Amino acid sequence: MVSLPQGFPAGAELPDVVLELGELFSRAGFDLSLVGGPVRDLFLGRVSPDLDFTTDATPEEIIHVVTGWADTHWDIGRAFGTIGIRRGHDTLEVTTYRAEAYDPASRKPQVRFGDSLADDLLRRDFTVNAMALRLPSFELVDPHGGVRDLYAGLLRTPATPEQSFSDDPLRMMRAARFAAQLGLKVAEEVRTAMTQMAGRLQIVSAERIQAELVKLICGAHPRAGVDVMVETGLADIVLPEVPALKLTDDEHHRHKDVYQHSLQVMEQAAQLETGPEGPVPGPDFVLRFAALMHDVGKPKTRRFEPGGGVSFRHHDVVGAKLTRKRMQALKFDKETIRAVSHLVELHMRFYGYGDQGWTDSAVRRYVTDAGDQLERLHRLTRSDVTTRNRKKAARLARNYGELETRIAQLQEQEELAKIRPHLDGKQIMEILDIPPGPVVGRAYNFLLEHRMEHGPVDHEAAVALLRQWAAENL
């Protein structure tokens, strides 16, 4: 590791490979600077996962300079001026100075190479990311006050916000993301531009928006990021179901704010994540996003009852469908969509049993229906308690604790996570001497239902049950 000179935070270091690369480019007659996130993170006392560089060398010249020094390189980003490099255990990206702009009708940035570091920094998204370290001298270049803004906790743009967001509308999502990741406050002029230009986000591909949303939800302050999205209108484009939660209050405001409740549930769910060795290592996007979306079915199911009450019957089922549709539009993979929407659909299941206690069959159904999402469902259900009534909160926590105890007790007796009927399809066909078909499925479901209600039985008892069912139904 290389220690940085006076003027940087005490203990600030960079990998040796940074200095080596700087000296390599210097000897070849090119400028090279470490830029963006790695420089910002030096002042935050964080270790950046990225090592990004910018240079006046063209992609062809970059390849020529690193040949023989790099273990390997790749040019998949060559059209954007970026060459990837691997040296030992370090992965680096070197990009030619550039200016990036969007055509109003295009979803893809139009790349134009620049010829100076100053111009390159001007075109970057925010001042905290528009700092560079010239190499190998380690001279800090900060023309737009990035260090000042970082210590002030403020997010501003190097150029005007309007120009910055016109060049790349995705930067509006990044503003919300940095509020979530770094706890930065979005400057008023930036917030105003975001509000005025939110609609321009529609030209950005769903995949790019999805990537920013995941980073936002997994940030240290996800509530702040979601608030920025909602207050500026970005959420109307990306997640319209979330701002719609504000409409679930009645006109007299006698019922809880479902939007604020959902943000609190998301925060509480994040607090229940575990370390790397636990069942739900944080940050966990699936748990957090399910917590945010768990009540999105309420606006469509809201009913005003006689006497002033408000009901949201079946909002869990409706919410799961809305969540699935939204995630599909954002191009999430099938497994993530399945996991999140399943949690949304199950988040009310615990309350269906109230204080009546949990029978063995009810526990089996709960575990079986949750499947591989049981640990997340535990955390989502516990997080979905935001009442200020301490007695009610304590009662709900106690009841759920009793459910978890019942699950643990039954798991010692039975393999709940692998509940199967007493006999499989092949055994059913052999015992009843029938071919594959609907009857096998009906028999299978009967045995599974019996297993849920009564627990496991031995083989002889299972055969007797099957023959009795066949005598009565075939």
Domain assignment present for 202: no
Domain assignment present for 389: yes
Domain match, 120 and 9 both: yes
How many helices (H) and strands (E) the chain has is answered by 22, 15
The Cα angle at residue 185 between residues 222 and 217, in degrees rounded to 5: 15
Domain assignment present for 24: yes
Domain match, 269 and 397 both: yes
Domain match, 337 and 442 both: no
Domain assignment present for 451: yes
Are the CB atoms for 185 and 225 separated by under 8 Å? no
Domain match, 435 and 390 both: no
Are the CB atoms for 60 and 159 separated by under 8 Å? no
Domain match, 412 and 265 both: yes
Q: Which domain-ending residue is among 111, 145, 179?
A: 145
Please, what is the angle between helix 285-293 and helix 222-232, to 10°?
50
Q: Which domain-ending residue is among 145, 162, 177?
A: 145
Per-residue pLDDT of the chain (474 residues; tens, 9 = 90+): 888 777 788 778 898 999 999 999 999 999 999 999 999 999 998 878 889 999 999 999 999 999 999 999 998 788 788 999 999 999 999 999 986 555 655 556 566 777 899 999 999 999 999 999 999 999 999 999 999 999 999 999 999 999 999 989 999 999 999 999 999 999 999 999 999 999 999 999 999 999 999 999 999 999 999 999 999 999 999 999 999 998 765 444 444 689 999 999 999 999 999 999 899 999 999 999 999 999 999 999 888 778 767 778 899 999 999 999 999 999 999 999 999 999 999 999 887 665 566 787 888 888 888 989 999 999 999 999 887 778 887 877 887 888 888 888 777 766 655 566 767 888 888 888 888 888 888 888 888 878 777 777 888 888 888 888 888 887
pTM of the shown model: 0.82
Q: How many domains does the chain have?
A: 3
In angstroms, the CA 370 to CA 18 distance is 48
Domain assignment present for 377: yes
Domain match, 412 and 449 both: no
Domain assignment present for 217: no
Domain match, 308 and 355 both: yes
Q: 459 lies in which domain range?
A: 420-473
Could you report how far apart the first and last alpha carbons of the chain are, in Å? 77
Domain match, 301 and 402 both: yes
Q: Is 356 exposed, middle or buried (0-12, 13-18, 19+ CB in 10 A)?
A: exposed
Domain match, 409 and 451 both: no
